[in-house]
C-alpha cells in the first residue's frame, strides 16, 4: 500500500510538471502561523486551457509563439478546452516574533497541472493597526531542466468579526524557461539548455472564512478568491500568436479548504 501511495505521488508530480511551469491558486492571507501550527490546504479551480493547432515560431527572446494558418474554415491557430486544476499545500509555523518580524512560517504548494513551489513567509509589523496582517513570501518553484522559478509575494489581510479575513496578494515570478521554449520546433543545433525566461505578474483578491470547526474531520477555513495573471501562457508554455484575440490577462475563481492543526 505504501509503495502504491509513493508511486501515485510521484506520478502526480510528473503530471503537474507536464504543463505550464507556474502556480495560480494562492491563498496567502498575510497572517503568519504560530510556532508549531500546521495547515493542510486543498484547492480547486476550473479555467480555459489553450492548445496550439499550428506551427511554432520563436521571437527574439526565445519564446515559442503559436502561428496562425489558413484552413477551409478561415484562419485558425488555437483550440480551447475547459479543465479543472487541483492543488495541495502544507505549512508549518516555525518562529514567533524575531527582530522586526512578527513571525515566520514555511511550506510547499503543488498544482495539477502546474508545478511545485516552496516558500518562506516573513511576518511584517502591523503598524499598530488592529486586525491587520501582512507578510512577504520568498520562494522557489521547480522548472524544466534549464532553470527554475524564483518569486516574491506580498500579502495583506484585514480580519473582521474574528471569522473573516479580506485579503489580497501580489506575486512577481522570474519564470523558468517553458517546455515549448526548450524543445518544440527546436533545431538540432539549438542548445536545449538555453534560457528564455520572463516575468509573470499575478494578483489574487478574496476572503477566508473561519468555520470554527469542532471536529478534525471538518475544514477550519474556506477560501474564495479571484485570481488574475499576465501574460497568458498556453499548454506546454506556448505563447499566443502576436496580436491574438486571446486575452493577454487570464483570470479564474479559486476555492480552497484548509485544515489547521
Q: What is the pLDDT of residues 193-218, one digit of tens each?
A: 677 788 999 999 999 999 987 788 89
| Fold of the CATH domain 2-260 | Lipocalin (2.40.128)
- Phi/psi for 4 (5° steps) reads -65, -45
Cα end-to-end distance, the chain, whole Å: 26
CA neighbor of 198 nearest in space, from 158, 163, 229, 241 = 229
Is there a contact between 58 and 184 (Cβ–Cβ < 8 Å)? no
CA distance 76 to 70: 6
| DSSP 8-state code for residue 51 | E
CA distance 176 to 193: 11
Query: What is the predicted pLDDT for the residue at 98?
Result: 85
Helix, strand, coil distribution of the chain in percent, nearest 5: 10, 50, 40
63 C-beta neighbours (distance < 10 Å), count: 21
Identify the bridge partners of residue 119 per DSSP, sorted by sequence position.
107, 139
43 grid coordinates: 484547492
CA distance 40 to 109: 10
Q: For the stretch 141-171, what's the b/e string if a residue is b when 16 or more beta carbons lie within 10 angstroms of its beta carbon?
A: bbbbebbbbbbebbbbbbbeeeeebebbbbb
Strands 149-160 and 132-141, by their bridges, are antiparallel
89 grid coordinates: 499545500
Query: What is the predicted pLDDT for the residue at 82?
Result: 79
Q: What is the pLDDT of residues 11-35, one digit of tens each?
A: 444 444 445 678 999 999 999 999 9
CA distance 30 to 133: 5
163 grid coordinates: 471569522
**Backbone CA torsion sign across 13, 17, 20, 23:** positive
Query: What is the predicted pLDDT for the residue at 87?
Result: 96
Q: Which positions of the chain have pLDDT values less than 70? A: 1-20, 68-76, 145-146, 183-193, 235-237, 242-245, 247
Query: What is the predicted pLDDT for the residue at 12?
Result: 47
Can you give the C-alpha Rg of the chain in angstroms?
20
How buried is 57 (Cβ within 10 angstroms: 0-12 exposed, 13-18 middle, 19+ buried)? middle
Amino acid at each position: 500500500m505504501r509503495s502504491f501511495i509513493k508511486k501515485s505521488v510521484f506520478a502526480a508530480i510528473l503530471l503537474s510538471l507536464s504543463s505550464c511551469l507556474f502556480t495560480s491558486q494562492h491563498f496567502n492571507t498575510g497572517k503568519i502561523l504560530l510556532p508549531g501550527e500546521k495547515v493542510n490546504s486543498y484547492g480547486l479551480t476550473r479555467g480555459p486551457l489553450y492548445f496550439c493547432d499550428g506551427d511554432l515560431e520563436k521571437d527574439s527572446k526565445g519564446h515559442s509563439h503559436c502561428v496562425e494558418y489558413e484552413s477551409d474554415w478561415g484562419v485558425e491557430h488555437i483550440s480551447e478546452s475547459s479543465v479543472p486544476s487541483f492543488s495541495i499545500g502544507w505549512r508549518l509555523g516555525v518562529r514567533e516574533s524575531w527582530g522586526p518580524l512578527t513571525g515566520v512560517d514555511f511550506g510547499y504548494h503543488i498544482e495539477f497541472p502546474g508545478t511545485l513551489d516552496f516558500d518562506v513567509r516573513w511576518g511584517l509589523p502591523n503598524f499598530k493597526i488592529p486586525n491587520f496582517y501582512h507578510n512577504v513570501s520568498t520562494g522557489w518553484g521547480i522548472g524544466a531542466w534549464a532553470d527554475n522559478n524564483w518569486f516574491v509575494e506580498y500579502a495583506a489581510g484585514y480580519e473582521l468579526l474574528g471569522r473573516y479575513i479580506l485579503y489580497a496578494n501580489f506575486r512577481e515570478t522570474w519564470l523558468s524557461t517553458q517546455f515549448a521554449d526548450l524543445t518544440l520546433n527546436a533545431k538540432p543545433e539549438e542548445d536545449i539548455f538555453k534560457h528564455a525566461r520572463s516575468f509573470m505578474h499575478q494578483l489574487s483578491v478574496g476572503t477566508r472564512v473561519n468555520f470554527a470547526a469542532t471536529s478534525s474531520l471538518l475544514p477550519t477555513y474556506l477560501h474564495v478568491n479571484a485570481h488574475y495573471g499576465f501574460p497568458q501562457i498556453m499548454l506546454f508554455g506556448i505563447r499566443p500568436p502576436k496580436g491574438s484575440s486571446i486575452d493577454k490577462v487570464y483570470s479564474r475563481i479559486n476555492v480552497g479548504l484548509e485544515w489547521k492543526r
